[in-house]
Amino acid sequence: MIGATLARPLQAGTAAVGEFIDEFFAERLERAARHGDDYVRLWESARDGAAGGKRIRPELVLAAHAAYAGSSTTEAVRLAAAFELLHTAFLMHDDVIDHDLVRRGAPNVAGRFALESIDRGLPADWAHEYGEASAILAGDLLISGALRVVAELEAPRAVRRAVLEIVDECVFLAAAGEHADVRHAVRHAGDAPGERDILAMIENKTASYSFSAPLQAGAMLGGASAASVARLGEIGRHLGVAFQLRDDVLGVYGSVEVTGKSALSDLREGKETLLIAYAREHPDWAQAAAGFGTPELDDAEAARLRSAIESSGARERVERLIDERCAAAVDAITGSDLPQGLHEALTLTARACVERAR
Amino acid sequence: MIGATLARPLQAGTAAVGEFIDEFFAERLERAARHGDDYVRLWESARDGAAGGKRIRPELVLAAHAAYAGSSTTEAVRLAAAFELLHTAFLMHDDVIDHDLVRRGAPNVAGRFALESIDRGLPADWAHEYGEASAILAGDLLISGALRVVAELEAPRAVRRAVLEIVDECVFLAAAGEHADVRHAVRHAGDAPGERDILAMIENKTASYSFSAPLQAGAMLGGASAASVARLGEIGRHLGVAFQLRDDVLGVYGSVEVTGKSALSDLREGKETLLIAYAREHPDWAQAAAGFGTPELDDAEAARLRSAIESSGARERVERLIDERCAAAVDAITGSDLPQGLHEALTLTARACVERAR
């Protein structure tokens, strides 16, 4: 796993990120108490939403920063935490958009407020409205909070502005990717997205804010040159695409032990991944596709879909693309003047993308 | 109207705010073009969402800033624009929470994407999903954009941090107010909010981010002392509460010429204002209340509700409260060392709150 790959040399750093995030929420919870129990519960659910992730983005920030600055600093920890807060906000708003009430196996912000309201005897539709409103507001609070943390970094003016630009740009790209993702889902009646649409969506939605932006922002804060920062953007883009494609393959072929979710859920949801876009080009797909995107899809139908994806050559094409993007990442790493430690960490990350539970 | 009261001496400033907002969107639209037509349309609808408001908040920022700094500056214009962007974001998310598709007489972000999708032949429920997702993302982009503008202000470090804190705190309070407002709406089955709940909600949702925070942030950037900034917070709180209570009265008793909306809409929506909370305490209300909160409410039922609000004494109590809050604002203005220009502008604003289309 990516997290585990990078975590080893950086545990002290990520522990500090966790402490900063704890302090961030503790301070807000204290202020929220002046505004009643429900607002305290909103902040508690936001805090819990920020817990339990793999903290990939903070690790990338810290790794990139330390590679240039020589060692980790309080400011790098703050920047790393800001990325985690932003990530949490995006998850919350994604969940509202998808009407999901569960995240990481537990009720999310919307789920908690909906359940509490139902317990208080409110009708289910009102309870859901209150839940979703709560999650929209929690996400807004974390976006504002994350930007404030970045804005308050102690760094030379030009560096602080450049880091801010990277963060705002990654919000810009993540929104573009999410908007395209929703459109794809809405369209899947007939007008399914093609390879180009899906790769653009992945670059924006995942590669930018999960890989490129954390690497670039960390390096920028650590004093990297503009050329190195641009190179890290390119490396992050390749790694992010490879990571997401691997995730998509695992979503269909992985085991619950590796992915933490059933290998039926993406198929039931009708997730328009590149795997599916490729499979659609082949006649085998049409014969097996009836159950795709239906909540009732059973194991036998899923097996038929999986074998149609295999026989169409879609799985192999996606695996080839993962190999290519990882090779491109390794080329970009090799041909760069990245500091040695970062060089190694990113090469390991690329390898993990290819191999992760293959 | 508040806008008109403050606008006269400040037209040049608000024109500059408009120009900055135009540039903000033009730059983003140019970048959005790299990500396809739908993302361009998202930014166009965000831009149009920021147009047509009364620009009260920017005016307050500029008035407070100029009173201390002597004249308006580019930085004050940027800060004023940031408040308008933030306000636009809040309106967008409020509309999602309320499932409103129209704002200022035209389709809002959600409405535009929903209508376009229906035109393309998508089912209405999918079109609405896409519309709401679009509005959530547009609001996120403007929150991030607004905070970035504030973070990039050219000001001494301590001033910039203090302004950032005011802005982040006003997001914190606006979210608390909106969360309480949604809860009140959800609860109105039996457990209606009381005077204390409603006044707290107004202080957070309206008074803070529409009055106190713009005045405080503008003054802070203009070099005001901590004592003056605190005093402006108090004045803004009183003015904001008076303004909102006046708005609530106009929502029930005003004409469409003054308010721009039908005097039936608040009653049809079942808006839990202080007017209604007071009326509920009186037996006349129960007899007239059947139509309250029903979309079918007709003129005759509305007339019965209005007369129950009158005979219960609720309207008079709210009018008295408006007078009291305006008097408190004037007292706070008079007992302060605010610069002369601001002194006058705020006194006029207080008077306008009391008198506006009474």
Distance from CA of B43 to the nearest CA of A (A): 10
Candidates A148, A157, A199, partner chain B, best to mutate (most B CBs within 10 A): A148
Residue of A nearest to B147 (CA): A147
Select from B187, B279, B296 the least CA-distant residue to B288.
B279
Residue of B nearest to A137 (CA): B175
**Which residues in chain A are closer than 8 Å to B208, comparing Cβ atoms?**
none
A200:B140 CB<8 A: no
Residue of A nearest to B183 (CA): A130
Res B44: pLDDT: 98
Measure the CA dihedral B171/B177/B181/B184, to 10°: 140
- Domain parsing of chain A, residue ranges: 1-154, 157-358
B136:A97 CB<8 A: yes
Q: Residue A11's pLDDT band (boundaries 50, 70, 90)?
A: low
**Which residues in chain B are closer than 8 Å to A144, comparing Cβ atoms?**
143, 147, 167-168, 171-172
Res B350: pLDDT: 84
- Tens digit of pLDDT for each residue in A94-109? 999 999 998 888 899 9
Q: How many CB pairs under 8 A join A and B?
A: 152
For A197-244, give the DSSP string: HHHHHHIIIIIIIIIIHHHHHHHHHHT--HHHHHHHHHHHHHHHHHHH
Domain A1-154 has CATH 1.10.600.10: yes
Distance from CA of B181 to the nearest CA of A (A): 10
The answer to whether A220 touches A158, Cβ cutoff 8 Å, is no
| Number of neighbouring beta carbons within 10 Å of residue A331 | 14
- Cβ neighbors of B301 (< 8 A, separation 6 or more) are B288, B290, B291
- Is B1-154's fold the same as B157-358's? yes
Partner residue facing B144 (CB), from A96, A137, A143: A143
In B119-262, DSSP assigns E strands to none
- Tens digit of pLDDT for each residue in B316-358? 999 999 999 999 999 999 988 899 889 988 998 888 877 765 4
Residue of B nearest to A132 (CA): B97
Select from A143, A148, A160, A274 the least CA-distant residue to A209.
A143
**Collapsed DSSP state (helix, strand, coil) of residue B103:** strand
A136:B96 CB<8 A: yes
The answer to whether A222 touches A155, Cβ cutoff 8 Å, is no
Distance from CA of B176 to the nearest CA of A (A): 6
A140:B171 CB<8 A: yes
Res A189: pLDDT: 52
How far is the C-alpha of A137 from the C-alpha of A126, rounded, in Å? 17
B147:A144 CB<8 A: yes
User: For A180-189, A199-208, A334-343, which range has the lowest pLDDT when averaged over its residues?
Assistant: A180-189
Which residues partner with B102 through β-bridges? B107
Distance from CA of A259 to the nearest CA of B (A): 27
B144:A140 CB<8 A: no
Residue of B nearest to A145 (CA): B168
Token pair 């979309």 is found at B295
A152:B132 CB<8 A: no
Partner residue facing B97 (CB), from A126, A133, A173: A133
Res B144: pLDDT: 97
Res A71: pLDDT: 85
Residue of B nearest to A172 (CA): B141
Res A335: pLDDT: 85
A171:B141 CB<8 A: yes
**Which residues in chain A are closer than 8 Å to B46, comparing Cβ atoms?**
none
Span A148-175, mean pLDDT?
96
- Tens digit of pLDDT for each residue in A14-35? 899 999 999 999 999 999 999 9
B35:A93 CB<8 A: no
Distance from CA of A35 to the nearest CA of B (A): 7
Q: Residue B114's pLDDT band (boundaries 50, 70, 90)?
A: very high
B139:A140 CB<8 A: yes
The answer to whether B177 touches B203, Cβ cutoff 8 Å, is yes
Per the structure block, which two tokens stand in for A5? 């790959």
pLDDT at A39 over 90: yes
pLDDT at A87 over 50: yes
In chain B, DSSP assigns E strands to 102-103, 106-107
Per the structure block, which two tokens stand in for B187? 């609860």
Residue of A nearest to B154 (CA): A157
Res A290: pLDDT: 85
User: For A29-33, A35-39, A254-258, which range has the lowest pLDDT when averaged over its residues?
Assistant: A254-258
- Between 2.60.40.1180, 1.10.600.10, 1.20.58.220, 1.10.10.10, what CATH number should domain B157-358 receive? 1.10.600.10
B129:A204 CB<8 A: no
Res B4: pLDDT: 43
H or E element at residue A107: strand A106-107
How far is the C-alpha of B4 from the C-alpha of A343, rounded, in Å? 61
pLDDT at B131 over 70: yes
Residue of B nearest to A175 (CA): B137
Span B214-226, mean pLDDT?
97
B143:A143 CB<8 A: yes
Whether the predicted interface score ipTM is above 0.90: yes
Res B258: pLDDT: 67
Res A264: pLDDT: 84
Partner residue facing B136 (CB), from A96, A126, A148: A96
Q: Residue A3's pLDDT band (boundaries 50, 70, 90)?
A: very low
Burial B44-74 (b: 16+ CB within 10 A, else e): ebbbbbbeebebbbbbbbbbbbbbbbeebbe
Res B351: pLDDT: 85
Partner residue facing A137 (CB), from B38, B175, B189: B175
